[in-house]
Amino acid sequence: VQRLLAATRLPSLLHVYVNLVRSLNAGRDELIEYPGSPLIASLIMREEDRGIVCEVQAEECAGLRAALSGDARFAIHERDGYAAMNALLPPAQRRGLVLIDPPFEAQDGEFRIIENALADAARRWPSGIYAVWYPIKLRQQVQPFHRWLGKSGFGKILVAELLLHPDNSALRLNGCGMAIINPPWKFERQLQELLPALQNLLSQGRYGLHRIEWLLRD
C-alpha cells in the first residue's frame, strides 16, 4: 500500500481507496493504521445500510469489535462465516454483497468448502452479489474452482486476477484473484482501468500480469 500512497497519478476509484486509507492516518507523516475490509466498508456505508461480520477466531473477532465499536450499523459474530450464510441468507434487504475472505492454509480443501456454501446460497439468494477472494499459488488448484463456478447455476460470474509471479509455485503467494457473482453493471470496465495500474505499481519483475474473464455471462 505504500507504493499506492506514493503514486502521483491513479485511476479515480483507486484514488478513492488511497484517500480512505489516508483518512485514518490524518496528521501523521507515516502509515500507522491500515484498514481491513470491514473498516473500509464502515467509511462508505450509508446510515441505513447494515453489515454483518463473521470471524471464527476469537482474537480476530475481538479486534473487529474494537475497530467497529459504537457503530450500530454492524452486527459482529464470532462464528463460522459459511454457517452464517446458511442462516442469514436471504437478507431482509433486497440488495447486498457477500464477501468471502477465507483462510487458505489448505487451499484445495477451502475451495470445496466455498463451493458447498455457494451452492446453498444459489438456492437461497440467486440474485445476491458474491465476491470470493482467493490466492493464486498453483494454477491447477484454481482451475477446478473456475470449472465449478461455470456450472454453479448463477447467471453472471466475472473473474479478475493480478499476479506478480508465475503461478507455478506452491511455496509462495504469486497473486490473487476475485470471482464476482452477479457483478454490478459496467464493473468490468472499472476493473479494466484498475488492474493495469495496479500491475504497474505493484510489479516486482517482468512476470506480472492481470486477467479479466467472464466465466458466465447471460
Domain annotation covers residue 163: yes
pLDDT at 27: 63
Assess whether 141 and 217 both reside in one domain.
Answer: yes
Task: Establish if 62 belongs to a structural domain.
Answer: no
Residue 80 lies in a domain: no
Range of 175's domain? 92-218
On whether the CB atoms of residues 1 and 34 are closer than 8 A, the answer is yes
Question: Active site residue: 49, 80, 101, 120, which one?
Answer: 101
In a domain, 42, yes or no: no
Q: What is the pLDDT of residue 106?
A: 66
CATH of the domain at 160: 3.40.50.150
Classify 27 in phi/psi space as left (phi over 0), alpha (psi -120 to 50) or beta: left
Q: Are residues 99 and 28 in the same domain?
A: no
What string of pLDDT tens digits covers the 218 residues of the chain?
889 988 988 999 999 999 999 888 886 767 888 888 999 999 999 999 999 999 999 999 999 999 999 999 999 999 999 999 989 999 988 889 999 998 877 677 899 999 999 999 999 999 999 999 999 998 999 999 999 999 998 989 999 999 999 998 887 889 999 999 999 999 999 999 999 999 999 998 888 899 999 999 87
Say if residue 90 is preceded by a cis peptide, omega within 30 of 0. Answer: yes
What local confidence, expressed as pLDDT, does residue 108 receive?
Answer: 74
Residues 105 and 192 in one domain: yes
Distance linking the first and last C-alpha atoms of the chain: 36
Q: Is 29 a catalytic residue?
A: no
Taking the CA atoms of 132, 136, 139 and 140 in sequence, report the sign of the dihedral they define.
negative
**DSSP label of 138:** B
Q: How far apart are CA 150 and CA 214, in angstroms?
A: 9
Residue 165: what pLDDT? Answer: 92
Residue 105 inside a domain? The answer is yes
